[in-house]
Structure formats: structure tokens, C-alpha cells
Amino acid sequence: MAKKISWTPRALLDRLEILEYWSNRNKSKVYSKKLYELFASNIKLVAKNPELGKTTEFPSVRVIIVTNYLIYYNIGDNDIEILTIWDTRRDPKKFKL
């Protein structure tokens, strides 16, 4: 059975910033919509298979790779919480989980 998905405010902001960036850069929302659907479909897979992602240094936190993005999530007893979406092209020194 699939677990319920919840988003932290940070993850929602990350997703919004990524989608807005591509809309502004491309002067079109076509790519942003495709990226949104790609994020959603991968998160649905995680909801059905929470252990799908790679383990991190934190026992309950896992990460999946979606094109150039890393989606970090926490596995709870009844739900999965999306923690952040990180663009791998950014400076890794600025990343904090």
C-alpha cells in the first residue's frame, strides 16, 4: 500500500523556484510542466516503494535521482515527507539537509 506524501515548506519552495527558473529561462511553461510531472511520477513510485531511494548518512532519509535533481525524503511510519529538492549543478558546499 502506498504511503501518504507530505512536503516540508522548504521542499515546496525548492520545487517552486526550480519550476519558475525554467519558465523564465525558456519563456515557456512547457518544460516546467514536464519537470513537475517527472517529479510527481517519481514521488509516486517512492510512495509505493519507500526503500527505492539510496540511503544517506541519516537512517530514515533516502534520496532519489530525477534527471539533474536529488529529491531527499524521510520515511515515517505512515507517511513519506519530501525534505528538499537539490539541483546537482549547484555548488555542493551550499547544500544543507
Domains and CATH numbers, the chain: 4-89 (3.30.2310.20)
pTM above 0.85, yes or no: yes
Taking residues 34-40, report their average pLDDT: 97
Residue 91: the pLDDT is: 72
Q: Smallest Cα–Cα separation from 36: which of 62, 71, 1, 63?
A: 71
Residue 36: the pLDDT is: 97
Q: ∠ CA 30-81-68 to the nearest 5 degrees?
A: 40
Q: What percent of the chain has pLDDT over 90?
A: 81
Q: 48-85 pLDDT, tens per residue?
A: 999 999 999 998 899 999 999 999 999 998 899 999 99
